[in-house]
Structure 1
Amino acid sequence: MTFYDGLYPFYPTARTPAGFNTIEIVVIIIFLVFLVSFLIILIGIRGAERFHWLARITLSLFIGVVIVAVNFSNNWERASATVNTTYKSFSSVNVNAEVGIHVGFSGVNVTLKGVPEIQQNETINYNEEFLWTSGNSFADAYRDGLERGLPDPILYIAEKFTPNSPCGVFSQYKVSSHYASATMWVALAAWMLANILLWLKVPLSGAYMILVTGAFMIFSLISFGTTRKTELCAIQFNDVTLRSSLGPSFWLTLATALLSLIIGITIMALSVWAPQILSKVLVLTDNTNDEDTDIEDYYNVHYRENEKPTDVPMNTLGNVV
């Protein structure tokens, strides 16, 4: 094991985790810092406005962190099963292991973990990433895995996604993931514009952009969902078949998109039928005219209205006697 990062010496770079990778963690931490900062600011706000701002900030940051985090997630589609299979080439020795597939916008992660983890005097715990994004060659990554002597189950699954595979799913996943990622970034831009418009107290235009945010998230789901039309070749390990299903990132994006649509429609409805309620919820009232308020409090308005002018005797020249 290396001295610095605990990786095996024959792995030149760190392997991407299948569940949470470092980019997702960094994104979540950044949004949590923003949330904590706004919560500290909310301490100085009094009354019901504090809860209104809390709801606005929490919902907005939640939608934003979901849009960014799912772009780097590897759990849009996944499959796992416990199998008994060969471990090395040119060897008939079988091992019990849990194999998994984790598909994201950038590629696919293939995992292999022994049950138990130590078998055949080796620690069986692999997580290999094969990318199909621009600038990365899936075929070269697969060829590199062959040269490094990866376990048979990993190479068997990765071979199903190669460009020359008879399965023919490589182009479908690559194109669908590309457009799904692009539409998610458009949703992020719409989310930022919606926050700016709401901050500028233009609720109706902000509601339109929230609807656009939810719509582009739906478009992203539709784009990635087209991969389900292409049936993946059967991944068979003896009598166990590995079947994939939509992962948590897909369902989380769907829930967030529906939330955005509900928020946008609600703001539009309130702006038409209940503008006073919308003004209170979004804190649209302008209370910056403090000078006029102070003057009004200083003078007794009712006294001035009821005050009657007194008759002052004056001489013929107009001078007060």
Structure 2
Amino acid sequence: MAPYQAFRQYGLPAYYPENKTAVTVDVVLAGICCAIFILALSFIVIIPGMRNRERISYVIRIGISLYIGAAILLANFGQDWETAEIKTKTQYKAFISKEIKASIGVKIGLRSVNVTLKGEPVNQVGEQIDYNERFTWVWDQGRIGFGPFAGEISREFREAQWKGLPYPIIWIAEYFVLDGENIRWGRSYRTAGFFTHLCLWFAFPLWLLTIVLFGIIVRYGAYFLFINGTVLLLANLLFATLRWGPELTIPFKDAVIQFQYGWCFWVTLITGFLCIVLGGLILLLDYYLPAEVATFFGHDVIENYEECFIEEYRQVKPQEGKPPSPSEQNIPSNEGKVRFGIDRGAPPPVPAHRGRGLSHENIELSVPKKATKGAPNRVPPPLPTLPPPGPDDDDIYGDVEYVPALRPKAGHRNVRKPRSALKSSKPAKASTGRRGVRFQPSVPEDEENEQDDQDFYANVPLRNPRPPPIPKKDRGRYRGVDNKGMM
């Protein structure tokens, strides 16, 4: 058994003293940063499968959204709302009269105060001087004293005394423990942190709703983004104003600790102003450029158009060879009917041959007053008109007239007349074909073309040909059949 008793004392297992190390990183903040990094990485993987324009808008939207969410969470759990740091000489511990030279840092968050003591150099008086202690006050003030019903920071302070922590840490923590007269800095920071963290937690679901509403109705998303920025600014205002008593200063031998706002305060302030500016900018752009804003946020503009309505206008007959001017058209004003940055002037005239059988000389395609899903409301562009034939068109078309396509009336037999029956002196009529205007040549009366037309139409069947009559001898076989062969 001798080999198993090596390096043991009194036959007991080996004992190793505790290895005390200072806190190097905040675990909560590290977890939040890791979560934001994973989300950003997952969105970055999708970028190569997008088009160029969609890629740019996607990166901007996702980048700003992740920044706002990360700023809210990091500011809520961060420890740097107020910070201070000095370098001084101070007494180290009880029963040690020799002073040490160290760097002392204090960081105040919404839930606790963090005190750091690091020697310069680290190894002094036979020890490694590197401490980082946190004193928490969430969220009850508790009774006066250090008993079981006292506040959490009071109980942690008494535990630090029993542990024998260095004097600088005990000295700083005592300023947040005492609660009487004007020495109420602990109560002041606890109250300010409580209401500030409520505002930040209220801003977090507003941020989630903003992301959802930007995918549904852009205008409502801008409203919520504006409200989100207002709540963040309110958090800064509450943290800066919910104080009473004199300003907190902690004196040491060679320096005095004076607090200043840390990065959590400034990040919340910048993010609040950014949300307000972006919300107002998106509202203005959605009013004046609705189609571009909808495209930027990935909305399909065509699907969001609603039904159009038609209004009748009267138009003064223009002079020959001169297009009508707006002053010559008796067109009523359309002002006030469209409220989304659309041109409110009178629409241009629509040619008669594109009316599809309507008796309106001039139509307007407009949008209703109500809009859904933040969709842009645009008046459709005017229909194109065909220019009148010029003097040089005779060499190209020859003897071609501008006549409509002939359509037989519904219910008539499909009887086609020869082209010789058309007279060249007959005036042309307007065409209402689906594919636009048709050009049909006018054929002069010529006896040579008549025989060709008859041969052409001889084999054309009728639309509803009648069956031949049934012979008299076979009429008795078919009941219900008359002499004309109809059932």
Unaligned runs of 5+ in 1: 1-7, 290-302
Alpha carbons of 1:316 and 1:37: their partners in 2 closer, same or farther (altered >3 Å)?
Answer: closer
1:28 aligned to 2:36?
A: no
Which shifted more, 127-136 or 260-269? 127-136
Aligned ranges 1:81-230 → 2 under 5 Å:
81-134=86-139, 137-164=152-179, 167-200=183-216, 202-226=217-241, 230=245
* Alignment equivalent of 1:77, drawn from 79, 82, 87: 82
1:308 Cα deviation from its structure 2 partner: 5.6
Native 8 Å contact 2:117 2:169 kept in 1: yes
Q: Secondary structure at the match of 1:43?
A: helix
> Once the 2 structures are TM-superposed, how far is the Cα of residue 277 of structure 1 from its aligned partner?
2.4
Deviation string, structure 1 residues 180-220 (Cα, Å, up to 9, x no partner) = 001001000100000011122x0111011111111111111
1:73 and 1:23 map into 2 onto residues whose CA distance is: 9
* 1:164 to partner: Cα distance: 3.1
Coordinate RMSD, CA, aligned: 2.8
Equivalences for residues 58-77 of structure 1 within 5 A: 58-77=63-82
C-alpha distance in structure 1 between counterparts of 2:230 and 2:116, whole Å: 34
3-state secondary structure, aligned to 1:184: helix
The residue type equivalent to 1:130 in the other structure is F
CA contact (8 A) 1:108 1:129 kept: yes
- Matched residue type, 1:35: A
Q: How far has the Cα of 1:50 moved from its partner?
A: 1.0
Shift of 1:258: 1.1
Distance 1:96 1:111 in 2: 14
SS at match of 1:284: coil
In the TM superposition, residue 240 of structure 1 has moved relative to its aligned partner by 1.1
The equivalent position to 2:58 in structure 1, one of 46, 53, 57, is 53
The 2-side partners of 1:78 and 1:317 are apart by 96
Go from structure 1 to structure 2 and tell me whether the alpha carbon gap of 1:227 and 1:247 turns closer, same or farther (over 3 Å shift): farther
TM-score when normalising by structure 2: 0.56
Q: Secondary structure at the match of 2:62?
A: helix
Given the alignment of the two structures, is residue 9 of structure 1 paired with residue 18 of structure 2, yes or no? yes
Contact 2:183-2:245 within 8 A present in 1 as well = no
> Residue 296 of structure 1 aligns with which residue?
none
CA distance in 1, matches of 2:82, 2:242: 10
Identify the residue that residue 260 of structure 2 maps to in structure 1. Answer: 245
SS at match of 2:49: coil
CA distance in 2, matches of 1:251, 1:150: 33
Q: Is the 8 A contact 1:167 1:232 kept in 2?
A: no
Quick one: structure 1 residues 178 and 269, their matched pair in 2 at CA, closer, same or farther if it must change by over 3 Å? same
- Match of 2:435, as an amino acid? E
CA distance in 2, matches of 1:78, 1:67: 19
**Aligned-pair CA distance for 1:32:** 1.3
**Matching residue of 1:262:** 277
SS at match of 2:271: helix
Match of 2:46 in 1: 41
Structure 1 Cα separation of the partners of residues 463 and 235 of structure 2? 89
AA of the residue aligned to 1:172: S
Return the letter of the residue paired with 1:264: G
Q: Which has the higher helix share?
A: 1
Higher relative contact order structure (alpha carbons within 8 Å, sequence separation ≥ 6): 1
CA contact (8 A) 1:15 1:129 kept: no
Q: Give the 3-state SS of the residue equivalent to 2:299 in structure 1.
A: coil
**Bigger radius of gyration:** 2
Distance 2:234 2:75 in 1: 14
Give the Cα separation in 2 of the matches to 1:56 and 1:188.
17
> Structure 2: which amino acid aligns with 1:128?
E
Counterpart amino acid of 2:92? Y
| More strand by percentage | 1
Unaligned runs of 5+ in 2: 1-16, 141-150, 305-432, 441-452, 466-487
Specify the SS of the correspondent of 1:160. Answer: helix
TM-score, scaled to structure 1: 0.84
Distance change >3 Å, CA 304–CA 99, structure 1 → 2: same
CA contact (8 A) 2:139 2:194 kept: no
Change in 2 beyond 3 A, CA 1:45/1:288: farther
Q: Distance in 1 between matches of 2:242 and 2:256?
A: 19
| CA spacing shift, 1:285–1:96, aligned 2, 3 Å | same
SS at match of 1:197: helix
Among 285, 292, 298, which residue is 1:283 paired with?
A: 298
Letter in 2 for 1:82: K
1:234-255 CA distance string (max 9 Å, x none): 3111131111100011111111
State the distance in 1 between where 2:170 and 2:435 align: 91
Identity of aligned residues (%): 28
Aligned letter for 2:71? Answer: V
Q: Which amino acid aligns with 2:274?
A: L
Quote the offset at 1:228 in angstroms: 6.0
